[in-house]
């Protein structure tokens, strides 16, 4: 009898925030955001096995003990939503530093939402997946789309941007942990002082520049991350890293999410590697941006044996 287990190895990419504006606290407790997400080549790897069975068993193996792992939560959620039962096994190889503003946990969760229905022989439309993603976390829906996207609301209302020219960047992850809820709270205390209309205008300018200068993609100013004001206050060493990145030629250089990771864009791979050599070895990572076309091609390659055709989201050949 043939082996009923279906296997795939997928990559869960990290993201950067190309600018992040926080407008106000909403009645649901989240903050109203304006940001542009961009996927990058830094990635976790997830090996997935699915065996159809009458009952459900979900297991995760990882070198790191991650409490309340989003992989398990995503698997349970999508299997329940699609009324599918079986044994799902995951092996997670973490490369994306955790709690750094790079979206690692969210990307792992989105990878489960994209891959598991294909292996389990269920069709899940983009709308269903986006809705399930938003239940798992504000950054999860973006990783169902990849490339560059404008995010509004909680960060879950997404509008795709055309692929920008691939760029070389350097990510620096300092040995500091910034609590996202605390960073939001600290920022909220200062929000009344800013004018939302000015914030929105400068964000508009950014999106126009990003979308109208395709394929070159002008990523220079006005990229700003509102968290820098409060996070740099608390951790001045992060401000020094930003200054160092700028001195090394990065334009722009800034915090991603609520940190603690920072990134800088460079004009060429050689400039980026010179910058890497001048920064502390530990926690400095050379990366490249990954556009939507490459993001999809990567997914289609990973799920090729289990897909009916190349479409988005990937569709199962077992359904």
Q: What is the contact surface with ligand C5P in residues (CB under 6 A)?
A: 30-31, 33, 137-139, 154-155, 180-181, 184
- Shortest spacing between CB 117 and ligand C5P, in angstroms: 22
- 8, 96, 117, 235 from 121: Cα distances, Å: 13, 29, 6, 48
What distance in Å separates the CA atoms of residue 258 and residue 194, rounded to the nearest whole number?
18
CB-wise, 47 or 134, nearer to ligand C5P?
134
Number of H helices, E strands in the chain: 9, 10
Which residues are identified as catalytic?
A: 15, 139
- Shortest spacing between CB 288 and ligand C5P, in angstroms: 25
Peptide bond into 151 cis (omega under 30): no
Peptide bond into 313 cis (omega under 30): yes
CB-wise, 36 or 307, nearer to ligand C5P?
36
- Shortest spacing between CB 119 and ligand C5P, in angstroms: 26
The conformation of residue 82, written as its DSSP 8-state character, comes to T
- Shortest spacing between CB 155 and ligand C5P, in angstroms: 5
Interacting residues of 309 by C-beta distance below 8 A, sequence separation 6+: 315
Would strands 57-62 and 86-93 be described as parallel, antiparallel, or unpaired? parallel
CB-wise, 97 or 264, nearer to ligand C5P?
97
CB 228 within 8 A of CB 153: no
CB-wise, 33 or 110, nearer to ligand C5P?
33
């Amino acid at each position: 009898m043939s082996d009923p287990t279906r296997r795939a190895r997928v990559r869960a990419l990290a993201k950067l925030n190309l600018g992040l504006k926080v407008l106000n606290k909403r009645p649901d407790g989240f903050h109203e955001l304006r940001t542009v997400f961009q996927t990058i080549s830094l990635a976790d790897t997830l090996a997935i096995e699915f065996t159809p069975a009458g009952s459900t068993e979900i297991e995760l193996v990882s070198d790191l003990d991650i409490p309340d792992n989003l992989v398990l939560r995503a698997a349970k959620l999508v299997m329940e939503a699609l009324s599918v039962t079986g044994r799902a096994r995951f092996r997670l190889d973490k490369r994306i530093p955790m709690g750094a503003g790079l979206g690692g946990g969210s990307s792992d969760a989105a990878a489960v939402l994209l891959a598991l229905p294909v292996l389990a022989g269920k069709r899940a439309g983009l709308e269903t997946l986006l809705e399930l993603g938003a239940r798992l976390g504000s950054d999860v829906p973006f990783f169902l789309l990849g490339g560059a996207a404008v995010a509004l609301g909680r960060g879950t209302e997404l509008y795709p941007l055309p692929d920008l020219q691939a760029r070389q960047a350097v990510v620096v992850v300092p040995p500091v942990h910034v609590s996202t809820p605390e960073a939001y709270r600290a920022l909220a205390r200062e929000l009344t002082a800013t004018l939302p209309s000015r914030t929105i205008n400068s964000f508009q300018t950014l999106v126009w520049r990003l979308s109208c200068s395709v394929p070159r993609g002008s990523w220079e100013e006005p990229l700003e991350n509102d968290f820098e004001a409060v996070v740099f206050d608390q951790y001045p060493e992060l401000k020094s890293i930003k200054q160092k990145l700028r001195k090394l030629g990065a334009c722009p250089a800034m915090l991603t999410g609520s940190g603690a990771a920072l990134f800088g864009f460079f004009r060429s791979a050689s400039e980026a590697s010179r910058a890497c050599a001048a920064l502390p070895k530990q926690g400095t990572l050379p990366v490249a941006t990954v556009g939507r076309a490459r993001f999809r091609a990567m997914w289609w390659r990973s799920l090729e044996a289990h897909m009916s055709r190349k479409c988005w989201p990937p569709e199962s050949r077992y359904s």
